[in-house]
Amino acid sequence: MATFPIRLFGDPVLRTRASEVGPFDGSVQKLMRDLMETLSSTPNGAGLAAPQIGILKRVFAWRYEGESGCLANPRIIDSAGSVVDEEGCLSIPGIYYPVERARDIKIAGLDESGNEIEATVSDYKARIFQHESDHLDGILFIDRLEPETQKEAKRILREYLTIGVPPTQRRDVL
């Protein structure tokens, strides 16, 4: 097992569609362990998708309220309701905005043992799964903001890319 550096906004790997994992073999299990260990090493990460550690495979890890797990080849097969809540991303440090997501989703995929599972999840856990599934398609949460909010976020991000230091860290050195 190992922890990996988390790729940051501006890295093209975050904008690339990840490919399905093939047979559930040792390499998929290793990727799941690496994702889980890297996620666990962050103070407040609730989810981490493989592209965020530079691996373009459809796998993510999550942890929420004492539970954790991984999902490979996740597919959201049903969704209902809508809820707005604040969201952030380990790849876009220091940026938090309200994002509208489905309240309830039904998701299918392969668990840590390679078993095909189907689960219905709600609220913040459903938000994590939707955010991480987006990462596998090269979509970031800022893409889902209201136009005005998105303009502000993009202005802050342009500044961040120019200076090369995430906003939170910049605030710390004032």
User: Is residue 89 a contact point for Zn ion (CB under 5 A)?
Assistant: yes
To Zn ion, the closest distance from the beta carbon of 61 in angstroms equals 12
Q: Which residue is nearest to Zn ion (CB)?
A: 89
User: Is residue 31 a contact point for Zn ion (CB under 5 A)?
Assistant: no
User: Is residue 59 a contact point for Zn ion (CB under 5 A)?
Assistant: no
Active site residue 112: no
To Zn ion, the closest distance from the beta carbon of 142 in angstroms equals 10
DSSP single-letter state for residue 157:
H
Annotated active-site residue in 65, 116, 132, 152: 132
User: Is residue 157 a contact point for Zn ion (CB under 5 A)?
Assistant: no
**Residues with Cβ within 8 Å of residue 87, at least 6 apart in sequence:** 96, 97, 98, 99, 127, 131, 141
To Zn ion, the closest distance from the beta carbon of 116 in angstroms equals 25
Q: What are phi and psi of 113, to 5 degrees?
A: -100, 0
Which has the closest alpha carbon to 4: 133, 109, 93, 91?
Answer: 91
Element (H, E) at 110: strand 104-110
Residues of this chain that bind Zn ion (CB under 5 A): 89
